[in-house]
Every structure is written in structure tokens, then in C-alpha cells.
Amino acid sequence: MDPQEIEGVPLVSTDEAIAEVRRWLDVEQVDPERIFTSTGEQTIRYKDLIAHLEQETPDGKLLRFAISRGRVMKRERTRTLQQLIRIAPSRAAGEGASSDPPSSGDPGSSA
């Protein structure tokens, strides 16, 4: 049985990884013949990824980890951006706060 976490990254299930690859192919319209990776004599195309995941090859396991890590990184980026968005308005409100409504951004409208 696969460990559920590698290097602190919770692994997605094989089914979740397959669904992600299908999304790449179906929704994002990635060309199945496009090369996903190539090392030495081995070339893996997008169309090969599902088979690697289903057969739990070393490449399939690495792909599961990569998808899992990508999701963690995306969540962390989103969380950081949300924190910055919460901080930015509070700082802006404290600097030069006035009772005037914000301008529309049109330089000609301030006259």
C-alpha cells in the first residue's frame, strides 16, 4: 500500500490523479501526443499518463506526488494572496484616509 504522505505532502489517490490528467486532456484540450517528459531514451506523452497511474509504475507514482505537491502549492499561494488582500485594504484605509469617496480612476474626473 502506498504511503498517504511523502515529504509532508498528502498524496492524492490514484483516481484523483487520473481525474486530473483527464481534465488536462478533456477540459484544457492538451494534445495527447504532446510530450509530458523525456529523459534519455524514455519519452512519456500525455496519452501515456493514465496507464502509468493505473499500473502504479515509478513514473505514475512520481506523477501522483507532483500533482499532490502542485495542489498544496496552489493552496498555499491562494492563502498567501488572501492574507495580502486582507492586509492591503486596512493599510490603505489608514494612509491619508478622508471622507471623500474614491475616484473612478479617470484623471479627468478629479477637476
* pLDDT at residue number 96: 52
Between CA 99 and CA 111 the distance in angstroms is 17
Domain boundaries, the chain: 9-92
Per DSSP, what are the bridge partners of residue 35?
A: 45
Residue 89: pLDDT over 80: no
Residue 67: pLDDT over 90: yes
- Residue of 62, 81, 61 lying closest to 73 (CA atoms): 81
The predicted model gives 47-64 an average pLDDT of: 94
Pair 63, 2: CB distance under 8 Å: no
Per-residue burial over 32-69, b if 16 or more Cβ lie within 10 Å, else e, is: eeeebeeeeeeebebebbbebbeeeeebbbebbbebbb
**pLDDT tens track for 26-46:** 999 999 999 999 999 999 999
